[in-house]
Amino acid sequence: MGLTYHPKQGTLVLARFDKGFREPEMVKTRLAVVISKDMKARRGLCTIVPLSTTDPRPPQPYHCRIDPALTIPEPWGNRPRWVKGDMMLAAGFHRLDLLRLGKGPDGRRVYQTDTISGDDLLAIQRCVLAGLSLGQLTKHLSAPI
C-alpha cells in the first residue's frame, strides 16, 4: 500500500524495488533503514539504505554488519544484516511499508515502529559517507545526525 508519512530516522521499512529498476540496481523487495529526517520541502520522499543478509565479497568501507535489536517478522526474521551504504537512495513513500508484527488485542494491525540503536545509525552514516566517496568526513561523526 505504501506509507503516508515520513517514518522516524532509524526505522526499518520494506522497500519495493520491483518496478522501474534494473540490475545492477536493486530489483526486489528488501529491508532498508530510513536515514533521513522529515524535511518539509521533500514531501513524499525519504532517504533509505538497503540491507542484505548476504555477506559482501569482499567487504568494502561502505559495508558494515548490524544486528538490530528489534522484532523483525518472518520471512525477514531476526538475523544480522549487511548495510549497503553505496546504494542509498531517496525513495517515494509509495515504495515503502512498515513491518507488520501481527494483530493487537483489538484486532488492528500492529507495525514495527521502534528504531535501531544510535550506534547502528552512526555505523550506517559512516557507510553512506564511504559509499559517496566522502569517507574522510566520518571523523566528524560523533552522534547520529
Domain edges within the chain: 12-140
Residue 57 CB neighbours (<10 A): 6
In this structure, which topology does domain 12-140 adopt according to CATH? SH3 type barrels. (2.30.30)
Q: Which helix (H) or strand (E) holds 124?
A: helix 118-131
Terminal Cα-to-Cα distance of the chain (whole angstroms): 29
Residue-wise pLDDT for 6-61, tens only, equals 999 999 999 998 888 888 888 889 999 999 999 888 899 999 999 999 999 999 99
Average pLDDT, the chain: 91
Please name the residue that has the C-alpha cell 571523523: 139
- Reported in sequence order, the residue ranges of the chain that DSSP labels E, i.e. its strands, are 12-15, 30-34, 45-52, 63-66, 81-84, 89-92, 96-103, 109-112
